[in-house]
Structure 1
């Protein structure tokens, strides 16, 4: 099973052999013996790639679970169940990961010196299974019901500006006034941008024309802090600036519904000690984070 999982994940007999410190012929013989035992092909081989068949994909899920349970049994028998060890990979959105996940990971590594973590910070939904990720932090609704998800809080899209900018624009009293303001856009998709505001039946659309467009949320925050204009970001990105008064939240009654934040992983109750430990650390760290509990 271990050899099959390595070949399926690496999509290469040679890469699996290197990973397992085995010879390529030994890996080939092991897979042939497995297929003979099962009576089905679990891998499709061409000159360019190796892929799991449909039967192989089903077997892969079971093999991963069984191997994880075996590892857990080994840990319990060796008396190290409470001492996670080995390599972990975790993913999160870029700015959220930098601001709120990395402190948890650093504390986790300090607590468990025999664990190593690879942090993959990307502003896209990462497929944990396909990309070899153990644990993820996901913002937004979860369409994939195969994931084990633990809610840790929620965030909102908020409109904000500095007190200095607002002092110079007293006419900003209702959402429609945003169309005539200096706008900082953090993710432009077209010259004209529509901001959908409100909840339920109380919704309005404001067309804004950004004077400054950036592809980096941190840069938009800095421009807003300098008093250049108004920006719209996720609440966790500006939570400390709102709390300190450096930025002011505008029209909170028109903010769309909150987006949930979850810790996700694949293994469920069969998770290894290291995955459980990291999940528990993230749940504890993020549930206590004020940035994930912004008020209405």
Structure 2
């Protein structure tokens, strides 16, 4: 019987059941939890059912579309999460993560930022800290540190969540630039109204409805642009700008190497929106593993240099 499984089983059985329940809650379905845990759906369903039988209460409300917590399940899941976090902390302590930098470190950052700035630094870090293994997840969507098991994240913009410790690296801004060849042929725009007479390179990520947004006394002004070509990747848009096709609008760190080398030149700087902070964050644990401290201390001064104009 299911109730005997948990009553007479090991502590590991109980912990497996708790971890499975958390996966179902975090992913939103039994099938998604199955994929995350890499076990059959029947195993996921059985573990949750055995846990509910052991507790003599229903933890999840199941429908054809989603899984939600019951009134009894919500506080139980909070306790399960805390228990599993404390066990993980104890294991990391026992494994020596608090005595020397070692173990796996999961880091996330925006896609282009990670490729341009973090990868070269990571190569140096790994050469110095040989007992640390890195799992890098570069995405343009913000991954949840808790749910995704992220140790460290690089974030651009204000932080809506105060659960994490944050340290400021620098700031970035939106910039308009073009190649010196294009500006020599077409002239340099001096005012936003001048954009109407210029060819622009569109990028789907920054150009809602074919407009570029700039600050104004009323909040923001949508300036129509003439895009002869539009891309869905930032690298392609930058290459087009360097090739002299037209003006491009990207984030400053995207084009800093090209501006420094003279391949691109910034224009309309006085109309740029306010800067956005770049911060490095990590989970707010009382005892921070040395691998986390070592990584932050190593990358911060190097990223600050990379972001400096």
Normalised-by-shorter TM-score class: 0.7 to 0.9
Deviation per residue, 1:191-250 (Å, 9 max, x gap):
842222246679644211211110111111111111110000000000011111110001
Deviation per residue, 1:8-64 (Å, 9 max, x gap):
454479889989xxxx8xx969x859x97xx79796497999987312332244235
The alignment's C-alpha RMSD in Å is 3.6
The corresponding residue for 1:167 is 184
Change (3 A) 1:139 1:199: farther
Change (3 A) 1:237 1:171: closer
Change (3 A) 1:283 1:63: farther
Number of residue pairs the alignment of both structures matches:
280
- Match of residue 76, structure 2, among 23, 35, 56: 56
Q: Please state if 1:94 is matched with 2:94.
A: no
Question: 1:82 offset after TM fit, Å?
Answer: 4.5
- Match of residue 304, structure 2, among 264, 269, 287: 287
Deviation per residue, 1:257-293 (Å, 9 max, x gap):
001111122233433232332233332332232xx23
Trace 1:123-142 onto structure 2 (pairs within 5 A). Answer: 123-142=140-159
Q: 1:274 and 1:51 mapped to 2: Cα distance?
A: 36
Runs of 5+ unmatched residues, structure 1: none
Question: 1:75 offset after TM fit, Å?
Answer: 5.0
The corresponding residue for 2:270 is 253
Q: Please state if 1:7 is matched with 2:20.
A: yes
Trace 1:96-245 onto structure 2 (pairs within 5 A). Answer: 96-170=113-187, 172-187=189-204, 192-198=209-215, 204-245=221-262
Change (3 A) 1:3 1:126: same
* Alignment check: 8 A CA contact 2:98 2:288 kept: no
TM-score by length of structure 1 reads 0.78
Runs of 5+ unmatched residues, structure 2: 1-13, 25-29
The corresponding residue for 2:10 is none
Question: 1:130 offset after TM fit, Å?
Answer: 1.9
TM-score by length of structure 2 reads 0.75
Q: 1:191 and 1:51 mapped to 2: Cα distance?
A: 35
Change (3 A) 1:276 1:196: same
Q: 1:240 and 1:152 mapped to 2: Cα distance?
A: 18
The corresponding residue for 1:70 is 90
